[in-house]
Amino acid sequence: MEYANLILEIKNRVLYITINREHKLNALNKATLAELHTAFTNAYHDNRVSAIILTGAGQKSFVAGADISELVTLDAEQATDLSREGHTKVFDVIEQSPKPVIAAINGFALGGGLELALACHIRIASQTAKLGFPEVSLGIIPGYGGTQRLTQLVGKGRSFEMILSAGMISAQEALTIGLVNYVVSPEQLIATCEELLSKIMLQAPLAVAAAIRAINASGSETGFQTEIAEFGNCFDTDDVKEGIHAFLEKRPAKFSGK
C-alpha cells in the first residue's frame, strides 16, 4: 500500500516507521492515524518483520501531538468517538504488538506524540527531545491513553505534575523519572534502538510475544492469571524445546518461532 504520511522501510528484520509530516512537526491527523493502523497491523502478519522502530521525520520533532486543526469543530460526541477510535485502532494496537516496538524520540513528543511513545514497549530519546502534555493549556485532556499509561509508568505524583502543569520536560528529566530508558545523542538514536533490538531478536519470538502480553496485563485483575497461562502456553512451542536443549548442550539456541 502507498503511504502519504509515513515512510516504511525494512532492514535486517526491523521495520522502520517514520511519521513524515515534518512541516507540521509530524502532528497526528486522521489520515496519519489510519496509516499507522494499517502499517502496524500489516507488520504483525509480515514474516520479514521481527521488530519495529517508530520515529518522526526531521531533527525537530517526534510527534507534536494530535493535529490541532482537526479539533476545532468537534462536539463532545465526535470527540469521544475520535478518542475511542484512536485507542482501539492505533494506540492499543501498538501496545499489543506481538513484536517489540521501540519509540525513537528524536525531538518534541507532545500530547498525542507522547501518548504514541507511551504505547510503544520501550522509549529511547535523543538529548534534544522535549516531552510533555500541553492538553490542559488547550482546554482538553490527553485522550489517547496518556492519563493511564503515563501514570502506570511514572506514578501518580509525576503524572499529576506533568499533565496538570502542561509543561515540557527534557530528555534527561524523562530519564530520571523512568519515562524513557536511555538518552543518547541524535546521531546515536537509531543505532541504540537497533542494538537493543538485536539482543531481543536473538530470543524466542513466541516467548517475547508472550512476555509482552503478560507485561501488558500487569496491574489489571487478570495480570497474574495471564502470566500463568502464557507461561504454560510456552511449553506447547518448538522454541521451548530448542531453548532448553541448547542450554543443556551448551550451544546457542536457533529459534524457529514455532
List residues with catalytic annotation: 115, 135
For ligand COA, the binding residue among 17, 25, 120, 212 (CB under 6 A) is 25
Q: What is the CA radius of gyration of the chain?
A: 19
Q: Which of 102, 97, 93 is nearest to 210 (CA)?
A: 97
214: left (phi over 0), alpha (psi -120 to 50) or beta: alpha
The C-alpha cell that represents 99 in the structure block:
513484536
Indicate whether 82 belongs to the interface with ligand COA (CB under 6 A).
Answer: no
**Considering the complex, what minimum distance in angstroms separates the CB of residue 68 from ligand COA?**
4
By beta-carbon proximity to ligand COA, the closer residue of 50 and 61 is 61
The C-alpha cell that represents 7 in the structure block:
515512510
User: Would you call 93 exposed, middle or buried from its count of C-beta atoms within 10 A (0-12, 13-18, 19+)?
Assistant: middle
Indicate whether 67 belongs to the interface with ligand COA (CB under 6 A).
Answer: yes
**Considering the complex, what minimum distance in angstroms separates the CB of residue 143 from ligand COA?**
8
* Contacting range for ligand COA; rule: CB under 6 A; set: 6-14, 19-27, 32-40, 80-88: 19-27
Q: Of residues 108-147, which lie at the interface with ligand COA (CB under 6 A)?
A: 108, 110-112, 134-135, 138
Residue 29 has phi, psi (to 5 degrees) of: -90, 175
By beta-carbon proximity to ligand COA, the closer residue of 71 and 93 is 71
By beta-carbon proximity to ligand COA, the closer residue of 69 and 225 is 69
Sheet containing strand 6-11, strands side by side: 6-11, 14-19, 51-56, 101-105, 122-126, 182-184
Number of residues engaging ligand COA in binding (CB under 6 A): 16
Indicate whether 24 belongs to the interface with ligand COA (CB under 6 A).
Answer: yes
By beta-carbon proximity to ligand COA, the closer residue of 28 and 208 is 28
Indicate whether 68 belongs to the interface with ligand COA (CB under 6 A).
Answer: yes
Please state whether beta strands 168-170 and 130-132 pair in parallel, antiparallel, or not at all (unpaired).
antiparallel
Indicate whether 33 belongs to the interface with ligand COA (CB under 6 A).
Answer: no
Contact 170, 130 (CB under 8 A): yes
Taking the C-alpha atoms of residue 40 and residue 94, their distance in angstroms, rounded to an integer, is: 7
By beta-carbon proximity to ligand COA, the closer residue of 74 and 229 is 74
Q: Which residues bind ligand COA (CB under 6 A)?
A: 24-25, 27, 64-69, 108, 110-112, 134-135, 138
